[in-house]
Chain A
Amino acid sequence: MLNNISLIAANELRRLFKSPLAWIILAIVQFLLAIFFYLFLSQYMQPSSSTSGLTEQVVSGMYQISGVIMLLVSPLLTMRLITEERRLGTIKLLISSPISITELVLGKYVGITAFYCVMLLMISLMPASLMLGTQLDLGQIASGLIGVFLLMSAFAAIGLFISSLTNSPAVAAISTFGVLFLLWIINIAGTNASENMAALFSYLSLLKHYTNLLTGVFNSTDVLFYIIVSVFFIILSIWRLDAERTYG
């Protein structure tokens, strides 16, 4: 089981890094975040603005922006997960091999999350460079890192599921973007609603749980929320691919 999952994940990673897309995305994300890093840092350096600490302002700010950028970039990375296997016909190779659909889906998911980890590592190098000159609140950084990681894995699971629904990468990318964006801003929809509805909407929002973690509040409900979202969409993907054998 684990063997097969890591085999598929490794192949996914290898093929990602063989395509220019992965490299370009890594480069652009790094470049954009470098600009934000510089902005946050120079803001902090101004004498008038020291209301919050360095970690709060620069590191958490960076992770906050990373979330938004990932929202834009993630659909481009997840769109080809299943659609491309279908287009190339390699899905038949995978399904006629002695691996289960669960292993296939989990392998894909692990592969793409591993790529997100690489990305996260690259992003974190910038705030980490501050440690050369000053002290950072490592607890808050860890909490923020966990937050970004959980957010990205939720993005990956949603993208994986939507990719399993269609044959066209473009359709998958646009739909994934729509869904992610909706889940991101759904708490705004609740602002004019009744108190209960507002609570529900803001609870469903991917953003709200994320903000908690960024500010260093490690609440197990927030962590569970992302895990449940990921597991839910992974199970849906497995069902979807399994049903395709019968109805596709």
Chain B
Amino acid sequence: MKSEILISVQALSRFYGQQRAIENVSFDVHRGEILGFLGPNGAGKSTTMQIICGVLAANHGSVTIVGHDINLTPRLAKQHIGFLPEQPPLYNDLTVDEYLQYAAKLRGIKKESLNNAVGRTKQRCGLQNSGSRLIQNLSKGYKQRVGIAQAIIHSPSVIILDEPTSGLDPIQIREIRELMRELAEDHSVILSTHILSEVQSLCDRVLIINQGSIVLDQSLAELQEAANKPDSIEISLRTPPAVEALLGIDGVASVQSITEDTLHIHFDKAVNPTNNIIEKALADNWGLYKLNPGNTSLEAVFMRLTHSDSSLLEQDEAEAC
């Protein structure tokens, strides 16, 4: 049973003049879900996030936050949004406390619960001892924390974070990840990132966007499953045979030499001839000394879907032949 849909994005398109930023982007995010937003630079991640938050308007399509359309009833919809842009929106001349109080009031928190909200958020983001410091004197990591703090201070249903872990050290990253997991229990989180391992360790679902369109929308479980069923292996042999000998093995689709003695073998997933290849290598004395399962990790998927490099295209074509 799926839980309630908190963010619904329908057929979003946005142009900067003639330049297409995103086109026909649609997806839903459920309560309790962490959606990882991946894509190369300039793919339209930030644009999409800003449209969801109402900072930019879409040319076509609609965004619904907890049942409220962001354009028709912005006030209702925005109450449920916490947004951290790529550059944390901080007033350098305020102290952390002053800033967080202002952000909380902007988000409509009543005076009675103000101190409570600020205190709780500071604790969550590890800012307990920084309350009276000026934001301009904070290090980049702490500024980032203040940025995250302003996004979650009003416990919004929908939290949208544009590269939340940039500029943080590994310990801080781990803390922030834990915080996000905690938040995701009863909120929806969308986060964009360049770090693939972050998506793997944190997200329930991955959305890869390239040149303004969604090229992959899969749950992480599905991706893991695919990774467990590879469609290629990489073998290293001391005395490699002719390519034909390998192609003769049942199920092998193509062979590609990477170095003199290392070969990349693609095969039919259903057959998986790894066993046959090893047996043949032993029988014919090819001198097998290394064998790696093919790379179907998120990284490989990401590279395949987003790379429009001509060299890689040629490689793909070569593989297809």
Contacts and interface: CB of A to CB of B under 8 A. Distances in A.
Interface of A: 4, 7, 11, 14-15, 18-19, 88-100, 245-246, 248
A113 to B, nearest CB: 20
A3 to B, nearest CB: 9
B253 interface: no
B266 interface: no
Given A4-B106, A90-B90, 18 more contacts: A7-B106, A11-B102, A14-B94, A15-B94, A18-B93, A19-B93, A88-B90, A88-B91, A89-B85, A89-B87, A93-B150, A94-B106, A95-B55, A96-B54, A96-B78, A99-B75, A246-B57, A246-B59
A88 B89 contact: yes
Interface of B: 50, 53-57, 59, 74-76, 78-79, 81, 83, 85, 87-94, 98, 102-103, 105-108, 150
A98 B76 CA distance: 7
A98 B55 contact: no
Tell me whether chain A's interface is mostly helix, strand or loop, or mixed: helix
Contacts of B54: 95-96, 245
Contact of B107 (A18, A92, A97, A245): A97
**What 8 A-B pairs have minimum CB-CB distances, sorted nearest first?**
A93-B89, A96-B53, A98-B78, A97-B106, A96-B83, A89-B87, A90-B89, A245-B57
13 contacts: A7-B102, A14-B98, A88-B91, A90-B90, A92-B53, A92-B85, A93-B83, A93-B103, A93-B106, A94-B106, A97-B103, A97-B107, A245-B57
Contacts, number: 72
A4 B83 CA distance: 19
B87 A15 contact: no
Contacts of A14: 94, 98
B75 A96 contact: no
B236 to A, nearest CB: 50
A97 B103 CA distance: 9
Contact of B74 (A15, A91, A98): A98
Nearest to B108: A98
A15 B83 contact: no
A89 B102 contact: no
Contacts of B108: 98
Contacts of B59: 246
A96 B103 contact: no
A100 B55 contact: no
B289 to A, nearest CB: 54
